Amino acid sequence: MHTLIWVVVPYACLAVFVAGHVWRWRHDQFGWTTHTSQILENRLLRLGSPLFHLGAFGVIAGHAMGLLIPESLTAAIGVDEHTYHLVSVSGGVVTGVMLVAGLALLIARRFVSGRIRRVTTTMDKVLYVALTAMVVLGMSGTVVINLFGEGYNYRETISVWFRGVFWFRPDPALMADAPLVFQLHAIGGFLFLALWPFTRLVHVWSAPLAYLWRPYVVYRGRRTPAPAPQPAPAALRVVEPATPDTTAPRSAEPATTVKS
């Protein structure tokens, strides 16, 4: 059972993640968008979207540091475990609160606004449920266990197992003694990756990064005088009333005779 959960399921989810994106790109390029609904409702979106995205970027960066950077590397540069734990928990709480607030606002606008509710698809609902589950599990591990609880050093177990998946050497025994909330969060992360290609999240890979290095657009001033404005088409369609032609010869009138 451990091999199925911690070895087979992660690789199956990664395979779906890759194959799903290929299928989506080949068969649904017109749907490869954010499906933005800003034109329908902007008040809650204007606040919820920045909070959600900034919080998500912070959470992803924190996960990358905790899962990909070995504990031996941070120790080698002089960062002890207590300092790392303090920084990671503080950053995780701040970015997590931003993510929770933004996600709550985005979900609320789906119920508050009737127009937004009518354009919400089934896959959108599944995505919001999955995001909520991942956020609740992640915040539970950060706040309940690592902030107010006894703490758990996931860098010695979960991080090693996670890197082993990508090195094709996963060790399921490392996950045996991890707290349940961390186990659910870890396997939920791979299941979330399997869901990713079939949702609006594919727009992440279409970020307009080319704008950062594209050449400037040069606008040159006009050296010659501007042409005279042309009359509007409606003015050209106005037909003036015809005037009588006074130059044309008049027809001869019949002669009249007067009897004396």
DSSP character string of 32-84 = -S----TTT--HHHHHHHHHHHHHHHHHHHHHHHHHHS-HHHHHHTT--HHHH
pLDDT at site 254: 53
Distance CA 140, CA 135 (A): 8
Query: Cβ(155)–Cβ(64) under 8 Å?
Result: no
Query: Cβ(186)–Cβ(90) under 8 Å?
Result: no
Query: Cβ(134)–Cβ(152) under 8 Å?
Result: no
Distance CA 190, CA 14 (A): 7
Domains of the chain: 2-206 (1.20.950.20)
pLDDT at site 231: 73
pLDDT at site 175: 95
Closest CA to 149 of 89, 106, 203, 78: 89
Give me the average pLDDT of each 10-residue run along the chain (260 residues).
93 97 93 85 91 95 93 89 89 95 94 89 94 95 90 92 95 93 96 96 83 72 71 63 58 51
pTM: 0.78
